[in-house]
Structure 1
Amino acid sequence: MARSLDGLVLAPVADQAPGQVGTRTRFTYHEQDGRIWAEYAGGDVVRGHLVGTRAGDALDFRYVQLKHDGTTSSGHCASTVVGLPDGRVRLEESWSWESQEGSGTSVVEELPAGSL
Protein backbone atom coordinates (compact mmCIF):
# COMPACT_ATOMS: atom_id res chain seq x y z
CA MET A 1 0.00 0.00 0.00
CA ALA A 2 1.21 3.50 -0.87
CA ARG A 3 1.90 5.88 1.97
CA SER A 4 -0.78 7.76 3.86
CA LEU A 5 -2.52 10.67 2.19
CA ASP A 6 -2.82 12.49 5.51
CA GLY A 7 -1.63 16.08 5.17
CA LEU A 8 -0.76 15.83 1.48
CA VAL A 9 -1.63 18.63 -0.96
CA LEU A 10 -2.46 17.45 -4.48
CA ALA A 11 -3.32 19.26 -7.71
CA PRO A 12 -4.70 18.19 -11.09
CA VAL A 13 -2.08 17.72 -13.80
CA ALA A 14 -4.49 19.10 -16.45
CA ASP A 15 -7.59 21.30 -16.57
CA GLN A 16 -10.98 19.62 -16.76
CA ALA A 17 -14.00 21.10 -18.50
CA PRO A 18 -14.44 24.86 -18.11
CA GLY A 19 -15.94 25.83 -14.77
CA GLN A 20 -14.72 22.74 -12.95
CA VAL A 21 -11.63 21.57 -11.08
CA GLY A 22 -8.42 22.65 -12.81
CA THR A 23 -4.68 23.05 -12.36
CA ARG A 24 -5.22 25.96 -9.95
CA THR A 25 -7.31 23.76 -7.62
CA ARG A 26 -5.57 22.43 -4.49
CA PHE A 27 -6.79 19.40 -2.51
CA THR A 28 -5.67 18.97 1.10
CA TYR A 29 -6.17 15.33 2.08
CA HIS A 30 -6.69 13.71 5.47
CA GLU A 31 -6.69 10.01 6.28
CA GLN A 32 -7.40 8.00 9.41
CA ASP A 33 -8.33 4.33 9.89
CA GLY A 34 -9.49 3.74 6.31
CA ARG A 35 -11.42 7.00 6.12
CA ILE A 36 -10.40 9.85 3.81
CA TRP A 37 -11.59 13.41 3.43
CA ALA A 38 -10.32 16.56 1.79
CA GLU A 39 -11.02 20.22 1.36
CA TYR A 40 -10.37 21.84 -1.99
CA ALA A 41 -10.53 25.25 -3.62
CA GLY A 42 -9.02 27.21 -6.48
CA GLY A 43 -9.80 28.16 -10.02
CA ASP A 44 -13.57 28.14 -10.52
CA VAL A 45 -14.17 26.29 -7.23
CA VAL A 46 -14.76 28.46 -4.15
CA ARG A 47 -14.99 25.52 -1.77
CA GLY A 48 -15.23 21.78 -2.15
CA HIS A 49 -15.28 18.77 0.16
CA LEU A 50 -14.87 15.07 -0.40
CA VAL A 51 -15.41 12.17 1.98
CA GLY A 52 -14.99 8.44 1.59
CA THR A 53 -12.97 5.35 2.30
CA ARG A 54 -9.63 3.77 1.44
CA ALA A 55 -9.05 0.03 1.07
CA GLY A 56 -5.44 -0.62 0.13
CA ASP A 57 -4.71 1.58 -2.87
CA ALA A 58 -8.38 2.09 -3.78
CA LEU A 59 -10.30 5.22 -2.78
CA ASP A 60 -14.07 5.55 -3.04
CA PHE A 61 -15.61 8.92 -2.23
CA ARG A 62 -18.32 11.46 -2.89
CA TYR A 63 -17.64 15.14 -3.51
CA VAL A 64 -19.60 18.39 -3.38
CA GLN A 65 -18.48 21.83 -4.48
CA LEU A 66 -19.51 25.49 -4.73
CA LYS A 67 -18.42 27.53 -7.73
CA HIS A 68 -17.89 31.29 -8.05
CA ASP A 69 -21.15 31.62 -10.00
CA GLY A 70 -23.06 30.32 -6.94
CA THR A 71 -23.92 26.90 -8.35
CA THR A 72 -23.30 23.67 -6.48
CA SER A 73 -22.60 20.21 -7.84
CA SER A 74 -21.85 16.75 -6.51
CA GLY A 75 -20.62 13.39 -7.68
CA HIS A 76 -18.82 10.12 -7.06
CA CYS A 77 -15.17 9.20 -7.67
CA ALA A 78 -13.12 5.99 -7.55
CA SER A 79 -9.36 6.51 -7.45
CA THR A 80 -6.23 4.39 -7.40
CA VAL A 81 -3.25 5.55 -5.33
CA VAL A 82 0.02 5.25 -7.27
CA GLY A 83 3.51 5.92 -5.95
CA LEU A 84 5.66 7.99 -8.30
CA PRO A 85 9.40 7.28 -8.79
CA ASP A 86 10.32 10.49 -6.94
CA GLY A 87 8.30 9.42 -3.87
CA ARG A 88 5.28 11.62 -4.51
CA VAL A 89 1.71 10.28 -4.76
CA ARG A 90 -0.60 10.26 -7.79
CA LEU A 91 -4.34 9.54 -7.79
CA GLU A 92 -5.73 8.13 -11.04
CA GLU A 93 -9.43 8.93 -10.93
CA SER A 94 -12.65 7.90 -12.60
CA TRP A 95 -15.51 10.23 -11.69
CA SER A 96 -19.15 10.90 -12.51
CA TRP A 97 -21.45 13.73 -11.65
CA GLU A 98 -24.59 12.86 -9.71
CA SER A 99 -26.10 16.36 -9.80
CA GLN A 100 -25.70 16.83 -13.56
CA GLU A 101 -24.69 14.98 -16.71
CA GLY A 102 -21.09 13.96 -17.26
CA SER A 103 -18.24 11.67 -16.30
CA GLY A 104 -14.56 11.29 -17.02
CA THR A 105 -11.08 10.55 -15.79
CA SER A 106 -8.46 12.75 -14.20
CA VAL A 107 -5.08 12.63 -12.51
CA VAL A 108 -4.01 14.58 -9.43
CA GLU A 109 -0.49 14.53 -8.04
CA GLU A 110 1.17 15.54 -4.81
CA LEU A 111 2.83 18.89 -5.26
CA PRO A 112 6.64 18.85 -5.09
CA ALA A 113 8.14 20.12 -1.85
CA GLY A 114 8.42 23.91 -1.84
CA SER A 115 5.76 24.49 -4.52
CA LEU A 116 2.80 25.18 -2.23
Structure 2
Amino acid sequence: MARSLDGLFLAPVADQAPGQVGTRTRFAYHEEDGRIWADYEGGDVVRGHLVGTRTGDRLDFRYVQLKTDGSTSSGHCLSAVSELPDGRVRLDETWRWESQEGRGTSVVEEIAPAAGRPATPVDL
Protein backbone atom coordinates (compact mmCIF):
# COMPACT_ATOMS: atom_id res chain seq x y z
CA MET A 1 0.00 0.00 0.00
CA ALA A 2 1.26 3.50 -0.88
CA ARG A 3 1.98 5.83 2.02
CA SER A 4 -0.61 7.97 3.80
CA LEU A 5 -2.08 11.04 2.11
CA ASP A 6 -2.22 12.89 5.42
CA GLY A 7 -0.58 16.32 5.17
CA LEU A 8 0.20 16.03 1.45
CA PHE A 9 -0.38 18.72 -1.17
CA LEU A 10 -1.30 17.50 -4.64
CA ALA A 11 -1.95 19.11 -8.03
CA PRO A 12 -3.33 17.91 -11.38
CA VAL A 13 -0.71 17.23 -14.06
CA ALA A 14 -2.97 18.59 -16.86
CA ASP A 15 -5.83 21.03 -17.26
CA GLN A 16 -9.39 19.78 -17.62
CA ALA A 17 -12.21 21.67 -19.38
CA PRO A 18 -12.92 25.26 -18.28
CA GLY A 19 -14.70 25.48 -14.91
CA GLN A 20 -12.99 22.37 -13.58
CA VAL A 21 -9.80 21.66 -11.68
CA GLY A 22 -6.55 22.30 -13.51
CA THR A 23 -2.81 22.68 -13.05
CA ARG A 24 -3.33 25.77 -10.85
CA THR A 25 -5.60 23.85 -8.45
CA ARG A 26 -4.04 22.68 -5.17
CA PHE A 27 -5.40 19.93 -2.92
CA ALA A 28 -4.53 19.68 0.80
CA TYR A 29 -5.21 16.06 1.82
CA HIS A 30 -5.89 14.49 5.20
CA GLU A 31 -6.24 10.81 6.11
CA GLU A 32 -7.16 9.01 9.32
CA ASP A 33 -8.37 5.43 9.92
CA GLY A 34 -9.51 4.83 6.35
CA ARG A 35 -11.19 8.24 6.03
CA ILE A 36 -9.92 10.88 3.62
CA TRP A 37 -10.80 14.52 3.11
CA ALA A 38 -9.29 17.49 1.33
CA ASP A 39 -9.79 21.17 0.67
CA TYR A 40 -8.86 22.55 -2.72
CA GLU A 41 -8.77 25.81 -4.66
CA GLY A 42 -7.10 27.49 -7.58
CA GLY A 43 -7.75 28.16 -11.25
CA ASP A 44 -11.51 28.18 -11.88
CA VAL A 45 -12.22 26.74 -8.41
CA VAL A 46 -12.70 29.27 -5.58
CA ARG A 47 -13.24 26.59 -2.94
CA GLY A 48 -13.72 22.83 -3.06
CA HIS A 49 -14.06 19.99 -0.58
CA LEU A 50 -13.92 16.24 -0.91
CA VAL A 51 -14.69 13.50 1.58
CA GLY A 52 -14.56 9.73 1.36
CA THR A 53 -12.81 6.52 2.26
CA ARG A 54 -9.61 4.63 1.50
CA THR A 55 -9.41 0.87 1.26
CA GLY A 56 -5.88 -0.26 0.47
CA ASP A 57 -4.79 1.81 -2.51
CA ARG A 58 -8.32 2.76 -3.61
CA LEU A 59 -10.10 6.02 -2.77
CA ASP A 60 -13.85 6.50 -3.08
CA PHE A 61 -15.04 10.06 -2.49
CA ARG A 62 -17.52 12.75 -3.36
CA TYR A 63 -16.58 16.34 -4.09
CA VAL A 64 -18.31 19.71 -4.19
CA GLN A 65 -16.92 22.99 -5.47
CA LEU A 66 -17.68 26.70 -5.93
CA LYS A 67 -16.35 28.15 -9.18
CA THR A 68 -15.24 31.68 -10.05
CA ASP A 69 -18.46 32.29 -11.99
CA GLY A 70 -20.48 31.67 -8.78
CA SER A 71 -21.83 28.28 -9.83
CA THR A 72 -21.52 25.11 -7.79
CA SER A 73 -21.06 21.51 -8.86
CA SER A 74 -20.61 18.10 -7.28
CA GLY A 75 -19.54 14.63 -8.26
CA HIS A 76 -18.11 11.22 -7.41
CA CYS A 77 -14.55 9.95 -7.91
CA LEU A 78 -12.70 6.64 -7.65
CA SER A 79 -8.90 6.88 -7.46
CA ALA A 80 -6.00 4.45 -7.49
CA VAL A 81 -3.11 5.51 -5.22
CA SER A 82 0.42 4.70 -6.31
CA GLU A 83 3.94 5.85 -5.62
CA LEU A 84 6.15 7.41 -8.30
CA PRO A 85 9.81 6.33 -8.67
CA ASP A 86 10.88 9.51 -6.84
CA GLY A 87 8.64 8.60 -3.86
CA ARG A 88 5.85 11.10 -4.52
CA VAL A 89 2.21 9.98 -4.44
CA ARG A 90 0.10 9.77 -7.62
CA LEU A 91 -3.69 9.44 -7.91
CA ASP A 92 -5.19 8.04 -11.13
CA GLU A 93 -8.77 9.23 -11.01
CA THR A 94 -12.02 8.29 -12.73
CA TRP A 95 -14.73 10.85 -11.98
CA ARG A 96 -18.25 11.80 -12.97
CA TRP A 97 -20.35 14.81 -12.26
CA GLU A 98 -23.58 14.24 -10.33
CA SER A 99 -24.86 17.82 -10.65
CA GLN A 100 -24.31 18.13 -14.40
CA GLU A 101 -23.37 16.08 -17.46
CA GLY A 102 -19.84 14.81 -17.82
CA ARG A 103 -17.23 12.29 -16.75
CA GLY A 104 -13.56 11.71 -17.30
CA THR A 105 -10.17 10.74 -15.98
CA SER A 106 -7.37 12.78 -14.47
CA VAL A 107 -4.00 12.39 -12.77
CA VAL A 108 -3.07 14.22 -9.58
CA GLU A 109 0.46 14.09 -8.14
CA GLU A 110 2.11 15.15 -4.92
CA ILE A 111 3.80 18.53 -5.18
CA ALA A 112 7.54 18.18 -4.75
CA PRO A 113 8.82 20.30 -1.84
CA ALA A 114 11.22 23.14 -2.52
CA ALA A 115 14.78 22.43 -1.39
CA GLY A 116 15.12 22.48 2.37
CA ARG A 117 11.43 22.85 3.31
CA PRO A 118 8.14 20.93 3.18
CA ALA A 119 5.72 21.43 0.27
CA THR A 120 3.07 24.12 0.51
CA PRO A 121 0.04 24.87 -1.69
CA VAL A 122 1.96 27.49 -3.68
CA ASP A 123 4.78 25.11 -4.71
CA LEU A 124 4.98 23.33 -8.04
TM-score when normalising by structure 2? 0.92
- The residue aligned with 2:8 is 8
Q: Which amino acid aligns with 2:38?
A: A
Q: Counterparts of 2:62 and 2:109 in 1: how far apart (Å)? A: 19
TM-score when normalising by structure 1? 0.99
SS of residue paired to 1:74: strand
- The residue aligned with 2:90 is 90
Q: Counterparts of 1:19 and 1:58 in 2: how far apart (Å)? A: 26
- The residue aligned with 1:40 is 40
Q: Which amino acid aligns with 2:100?
A: Q
Q: Which amino acid aligns with 1:82?
A: S
CA shift, 1:18, in A, is 1.0
SS of residue paired to 2:99: coil
Residue 112 (structure 1) aligned with residue 112 (structure 2): yes
Q: Percent same amino acid among aligned pairs?
A: 80
SS of residue paired to 1:59: strand
CA shift, 1:84, in A, is 0.3
The correspondence of residues 25-64 of structure 1 with structure 2, limited to 5 A, is: 25-64=25-64
> Where has structure 1 moved over 4 Å in runs of 4 or more?
none
- The residue aligned with 1:80 is 80
Q: Counterparts of 1:90 and 1:24 in 2: how far apart (Å)? A: 17
Cα RMSD of the aligned pairs, angstroms, is 0.7
- What 5-or-longer segments of structure 2 have no aligned partner? none
- What 5-or-longer segments of structure 1 have no aligned partner? none
Q: How many residues align?
A: 116
